[in-house]
Amino acid sequence: MSERVLLGRITGAHGLKGEVKIAAFTAEPEDVASYGPLTSADGLRSFEIASLRGTGGGTVIARIVGVADRDGAERLTGTELFVSRAVLPPAEADEYYHSDLIGLTAVSAEGEVLGEIVAVQNYGAGDLLELRLAGGRQTEFVPFESAHVPKVDLEAGRVTIVRPVYKEDKSAETE
């Protein structure tokens, strides 16, 4: 398990006074500031959120201590914001931190190695596990729901995947 958990990403500046837009990866977007100072991916920079307001859709507007103008805010665009796992509450039954899933070996129901989970994405319709197929660079997405991911075994470092079957679109043949 990762010692640090990604809580958000600064997506840009907001206004002229140094506020930033943060895409929050917490269940409640405003909770991105609930666990104390955040750090950069390399752990070298620390960010304290002085104020925060929600905007809907998983985004918040924040004022970061020490950032006083738009130029300073723009320089932070793309910065990922992490927190120590130790300050987070334990995940509930059948809930997982994304960082716990990344790196798990994906296996079929029969135990065949399919590849590795390299990311968890969400484009608005629910979480998707990004699976890098064994022996290559190609990835595919698997809906993170019980029909396609019936078992997650963190201790064994494995996740069971039932890959979706997509029907071919035959409407083009009938036209």
Report phi then psi at 46, rounded to 5: -120, 145
Q: In the prediction, which pLDDT does 172 show?
A: 54
170 inside domain:
no
For residues 113 and 142, membership in a common domain is answered with yes
**CA 81 – CA 43 distance, rounded (Å):** 9
Domain residues for the domain of 25 are: 4-86
175 inside domain:
no
**CA 148 – CA 151 distance, rounded (Å):** 9
pTM score of the predicted model: 0.71
Helix (H, G, I), strand (E, B) or coil at 27: coil
Which stretches in the chain have pLDDT values below 50? none
Q: How many domains does the chain have?
A: 2
